[in-house]
Structure 1
Amino acid sequence: MSKIVILGTGAFGLSIAIMAVESGHSVTMWSAFESEIESLKRDREHKDKLPGVKIPESIEFTADISCVSDAEMVVIGVPSIFVRKVVRQAAPYIKPEMIIVDTSKGLEDGTYLRMSEVIREEVKDSPIVALSGPSHAEEVSRKIPTAISAASEDEKAAVAVQEAFSNDVLRIYLNDDVIGCELGGSLKNIIALCAGICDGLGYGDNTIAALMTRGITEIARLGVAMGARLDTFFGLTGVGDLIVTCTSLHSRNRRAGTLIGQGVSPDEAVKQVGTVEGYYCCKAAYGLAQKMNVEMPITAQLFKILFEGGDVKEPIKALMNRPTRYEREMPLK
């Protein structure tokens, strides 16, 4: 049995906590909000994020981040925009032998760093494992069969995470392409936002299929330029995560996109839906693509809508009228 501490009491953190308990581990969850902690202790349910899901009595809750000090694994379960702040708070209590498991998907604004890179800047020695793949918390927490990947440069740490969380309903594969896994898990949120916009505009299945296919192409294009392996983007953290995020009603990115397509302003859509990782990631990905001199036309068009007041109907015209070309592209060979 391992002692696992999860930083953050969001939906996915809770679903991972439930999986850990199912596998026989001791779990403590931390939140900076005392009121949230008291509510979770009292109700044993997160009524806003996972209504109807019973939280096992064995899961403990605290607002004291020093709880990290006796953990064997520390799971980062907060939105990407808060990862650096939370890890910095926890860093004084993290020992080199602790395994840090990151479940956040995104790029840091301004630095363009992946989440494992952000964590490494704050914690110098502990092994880091990125847990990613098609895994809506609403389904994981209800024990619906799910498969994801544990990506790390430290194979021993990745195996430990695989063994800690795998059970009858959660299957974890190993992957050593950390760059590819993290970029796939982050950038698919951009394409899912676009899928929602298409839905809000009343476009059909043909449009969504084209968007997803060309979306994974530009995600892979950036990934390969940054040193990732092409085949990673056709696995769980690439195509797998893209499919579930673009097509599921559980997807906050798709829901926010639908509102934008229906005429709601991007800021208001994010306010209504809550955490929309694709909104934040789009800005960073757009800057990163420019820095790397990589063509990402879908991302560029979404950037115009989100941050430059662009008309939601114009991007489709712009994309459809780009210069004709072969489908297979040299950068992906």
Structure 2
Amino acid sequence: MATPAARSLRVAVLGAGSWGTALAAAASRRHAAVLWARDPAQAAAMAATRENARYLPGIALPQALEFSGDLDAALLHLRHADADRLIVLGVPVAGLTALCGELSRRLPALGLEDTPIVWTCKGFEADTARLPHEIMRQALPGATGGALSGPSFAREVARGLPVALTVASASAALRETTTRAFHGGALRVYASADLVGVEVGGALKNVIAVACGICDGLALGTNARAALITRGLAEMTRLGVALGAQAETFAGLTGLGDLVLTATGELSRNRKVGLEIGAGRKLADILASGITAEGVRCARAALERARAARVELPITEAVCAVLFEGVAPMTAVSALLARDARYESGNAPG
């Protein structure tokens, strides 16, 4: 008996920033993919030049990739009788609530309400301290969703350099569909059922990366940076477990892997903000220069969530003091160093 042919897959990536563009390019090499840009002029320019000059200048985009400045048209790309489908939300946490609201109205009207949705944003929502899956659950309560995360700079992915990501969801079908969409060539996708752990790791690593940048800006040495990364990982794990995550998740790609990349990589915007602060610049001036960093946006929300869960996050607290309370970077460092000695694991030996 002949084996039935595998169904094709159609992918709509919503959000034409650097990461959304890189993922849309990757998907288009194997599947029918469309990239939606909120600005129709940007979509038209990308279609004409095969380049996202705003976010990924100098990188050629595949000829197979389609572009749209019309959200309904981008979603209608998914409607095909013999194809599976996937929506990828490539917007930051700050834009997730609004986009989910639009989808809650449009998907049922287009007959696409059962389409699985995966998001790529990392962080706590600034005003509500919600994680992305909590935003999704409220805005699209019936949707099958998951997070695609991991140590990844968009420019390297767009250039086709090797990268490993994790898709996290309670739905095995969503994990399989997302893996089909992106796994292949230089891009590997691993699966996880620990959505909370993957999201907490993706959120807090940005805050710890700001701390590491401050450390390097102050020229405190590589020993100090290693200590911050290690103790930062402990903070991520403590908060994640308190919110229902599995501790082992933080030893993986979306915990330690993403933390090391963001805290040390030259392309890291969070590290860049920390470096500038360590060198004496004011946060308002740094942000006014055009640098955006999720660690700055979500640091206070992360601390708020930790306090509600009765979890200590001393590095995150120090970052918030420097960013928002006018505390001098060296004063914050001195406060961390002055903390009482303790067992590394948090538990005294019996």
TM-score, normalised on structure 2? 0.91
Tell me if structure 1 keeps the 8 A contact 2:121–2:132.
yes
Q: Who is 2:3 aligned against?
A: none
Structure 1 residue 294 corresponds to structure 2 residue 311:
yes
How far apart are the structure 2 equivalents of 1:227 and 1:161?
24
Q: Who is 2:238 aligned against?
A: 221
How far apart are the structure 2 equivalents of 1:39 and 1:275?
24
Structure 1 residue 78 corresponds to structure 2 residue 91:
yes
Q: Who is 1:87 aligned against?
A: 100
Structure 1 residue 6 corresponds to structure 2 residue 6:
no
Distance 1:224 1:330, change over 3 A: farther
Q: Who is 1:175 aligned against?
A: 192
Distance 1:274 1:42, change over 3 A: farther
Match of 2:65 among 44, 59, 70: 59
* AA of the residue aligned to 2:271: R
* AA of the residue aligned to 2:177: A
What is the Cα deviation at residue 273 of structure 1? 4.5
C-alpha RMSD of the superposition: 1.4
Match of 2:166 among 138, 141, 149: 149
Structure 1 residue 20 corresponds to structure 2 residue 27:
yes
How far apart are the structure 1 equivalents of 2:57 and 2:37?
19
Matches within 5 A, 1:1-333: 1-22=8-29, 24-66=30-72, 67-71=74-78, 72-94=85-107, 95-330=112-347
How far apart are the structure 1 equivalents of 2:277 and 2:54?
23
- Deviation track 1:239-276 (CA, whole Å, cap 9, x = no partner) reads 00001111101111111111111111112223324331
How far apart are the structure 2 equivalents of 1:166 and 1:219?
27
Tell me if structure 2 keeps the 8 A contact 1:79–1:275.
no
SS in 1 for 2:329: coil
Identity of aligned residues (%): 37
SS in 2 for 1:111: coil
- Deviation track 1:103-123 (CA, whole Å, cap 9, x = no partner) reads 011111232211121122111
Instruction: Give the gaps of 5 or more residues in structure 1.
Output: none
How far apart are the structure 2 equivalents of 1:183 and 1:77?
18
Range 202-211 or range 61-70, more displaced: 61-70
Instruction: Give the gaps of 5 or more residues in structure 2.
Output: 1-7, 79-84
Tell me if structure 1 keeps the 8 A contact 2:11–2:181.
no
Tell me if structure 2 keeps the 8 A contact 1:256–1:273.
no
Range 186-195 or range 272-281, more displaced: 272-281
SS in 1 for 2:180: helix
How far apart are the structure 2 equivalents of 1:267 and 1:73?
39
SS in 1 for 2:289: helix
| Number of equivalences | 330
- Deviation track 1:126-176 (CA, whole Å, cap 9, x = no partner) reads 210200111111111111111111100111111111122100111111100
What is the Cα deviation at residue 229 of structure 1? 0.6
